[in-house]
Protein backbone atom coordinates (compact mmCIF):
# COMPACT_ATOMS: atom_id res chain seq x y z
CA UNK A 1 0.00 0.00 0.00
CA UNK A 2 1.14 3.50 -0.83
CA UNK A 3 1.35 6.35 1.59
CA UNK A 4 -0.08 9.01 -0.70
CA UNK A 5 -2.00 11.84 0.91
CA UNK A 6 -5.72 11.38 1.30
CA UNK A 7 -7.82 13.13 -1.32
CA UNK A 8 -9.62 16.13 0.18
CA UNK A 9 -12.77 17.89 -1.01
CA UNK A 10 -11.50 21.12 -2.56
CA UNK A 11 -14.49 23.23 -1.46
CA UNK A 12 -14.95 21.86 2.08
CA UNK A 13 -13.14 24.70 3.87
CA UNK A 14 -15.17 27.31 1.99
CA UNK A 15 -18.45 25.52 2.76
CA UNK A 16 -17.65 25.30 6.47
CA UNK A 17 -17.03 29.05 6.59
CA UNK A 18 -20.22 29.73 4.60
CA UNK A 19 -22.18 27.69 7.15
CA UNK A 20 -20.74 29.54 10.13
CA UNK A 21 -21.17 32.99 8.58
CA UNK A 22 -24.62 32.07 7.24
CA UNK A 23 -25.67 31.17 10.77
CA UNK A 24 -24.29 34.50 12.02
CA UNK A 25 -21.83 32.86 14.41
CA UNK A 26 -18.29 33.51 15.52
CA UNK A 27 -15.90 30.58 15.46
CA UNK A 28 -16.47 30.07 19.20
CA UNK A 29 -20.21 30.43 18.65
CA UNK A 30 -20.07 27.66 16.06
CA UNK A 31 -18.32 25.39 18.55
CA UNK A 32 -21.09 26.07 21.11
CA UNK A 33 -23.85 25.51 18.51
CA UNK A 34 -22.37 22.12 17.67
CA UNK A 35 -22.01 21.27 21.38
CA UNK A 36 -18.30 20.59 21.00
CA UNK A 37 -16.88 22.97 23.61
CA UNK A 38 -14.85 20.17 25.23
CA UNK A 39 -13.55 18.85 21.90
CA UNK A 40 -12.72 21.80 19.64
CA UNK A 41 -10.93 25.13 19.92
CA UNK A 42 -11.31 28.34 17.94
CA UNK A 43 -7.90 27.64 16.39
CA UNK A 44 -9.15 24.30 15.04
CA UNK A 45 -12.22 25.94 13.47
CA UNK A 46 -9.85 28.43 11.87
CA UNK A 47 -7.74 25.58 10.46
CA UNK A 48 -10.87 23.86 9.08
CA UNK A 49 -11.95 27.07 7.38
CA UNK A 50 -8.50 27.74 5.92
CA UNK A 51 -8.17 24.18 4.63
CA UNK A 52 -5.15 23.46 6.82
CA UNK A 53 -6.98 20.60 8.54
CA UNK A 54 -9.95 18.43 7.65
CA UNK A 55 -12.49 17.92 10.44
CA UNK A 56 -13.31 14.46 11.74
CA UNK A 57 -16.49 12.74 10.58
CA UNK A 58 -18.37 13.51 13.84
CA UNK A 59 -17.48 17.20 13.45
CA UNK A 60 -18.69 17.19 9.82
CA UNK A 61 -21.91 15.59 11.02
CA UNK A 62 -22.44 18.43 13.51
CA UNK A 63 -21.78 21.04 10.82
CA UNK A 64 -24.36 19.37 8.58
CA UNK A 65 -26.90 19.22 11.40
CA UNK A 66 -26.33 22.89 12.21
CA UNK A 67 -26.99 23.86 8.58
CA UNK A 68 -29.75 21.25 8.12
CA UNK A 69 -28.03 19.76 5.08
CA UNK A 70 -26.89 16.24 4.30
CA UNK A 71 -23.19 15.55 4.92
CA UNK A 72 -22.86 14.81 1.21
CA UNK A 73 -23.56 18.50 0.50
CA UNK A 74 -20.41 19.36 2.46
CA UNK A 75 -18.15 16.72 0.95
CA UNK A 76 -19.23 16.63 -2.70
CA UNK A 77 -17.51 19.44 -4.61
CA UNK A 78 -20.17 19.27 -7.32
CA UNK A 79 -22.84 20.38 -4.81
CA UNK A 80 -23.49 23.88 -3.53
CA UNK A 81 -25.04 24.72 -0.19
CA UNK A 82 -28.51 26.28 -0.17
CA UNK A 83 -28.55 30.08 -0.11
CA UNK A 84 -30.42 30.29 3.20
CA UNK A 85 -28.90 28.59 6.24
CA UNK A 86 -30.03 26.74 8.14
CA UNK A 87 -32.09 25.18 5.39
CA UNK A 88 -35.83 25.17 6.12
CA UNK A 89 -35.97 21.47 5.27
CA UNK A 90 -33.14 18.95 5.13
CA UNK A 91 -31.25 19.83 1.97
CA UNK A 92 -29.22 17.48 -0.20
CA UNK A 93 -27.26 20.29 -1.85
CA UNK A 94 -27.70 22.00 -5.18
CA UNK A 95 -26.05 20.46 -8.22
CA UNK A 96 -23.61 22.93 -9.77
CA UNK A 97 -24.18 23.81 -13.40
CA UNK A 98 -20.44 23.84 -14.12
CA UNK A 99 -18.31 21.25 -12.39
CA UNK A 100 -14.56 21.46 -12.96
CA UNK A 101 -12.72 18.19 -13.60
CA UNK A 102 -11.36 16.55 -10.46
CA UNK A 103 -7.62 16.21 -10.00
CA UNK A 104 -6.25 12.72 -9.69
Say if 29 falls within a structural domain: yes
Helix axes 27-34, 12-22, angle to 10 degrees: 90
- Say which CATH number the domain at 52 has: 1.10.260.40
**Which residues constitute the domain of residue 34?**
12-90
Say if 67 falls within a structural domain: yes
Say if 27 falls within a structural domain: yes
Predicted TM-score (pTM) of the model is 0.86
- In the chain, the number of structural domains is 1
> What pLDDT, on the 0 to 100 scale, is given for residue 15?
98
Q: Which residues contact 15 (CB under 8 A, 6 or more apart)?
A: 73, 74, 81
Say if 20 falls within a structural domain: yes
Say if 96 falls within a structural domain: no
Q: How many CA atoms lie within 13 A of 86 on its CB side?
A: 15
Say if 98 falls within a structural domain: no
> What pLDDT, on the 0 to 100 scale, is given for residue 91?
85
Say if 95 falls within a structural domain: no
Say if 3 falls within a structural domain: no
The β-bridge partners of 80 are 94
Query: What's the average pLDDT block by block, 10 residues per block, for the chain (104 residues)?
Result: 77 98 98 97 98 97 97 96 93 75 51
Amino acid sequence: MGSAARRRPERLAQKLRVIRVGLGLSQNGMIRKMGLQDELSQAEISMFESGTRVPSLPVLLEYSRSANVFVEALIDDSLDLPEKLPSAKKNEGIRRSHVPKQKK
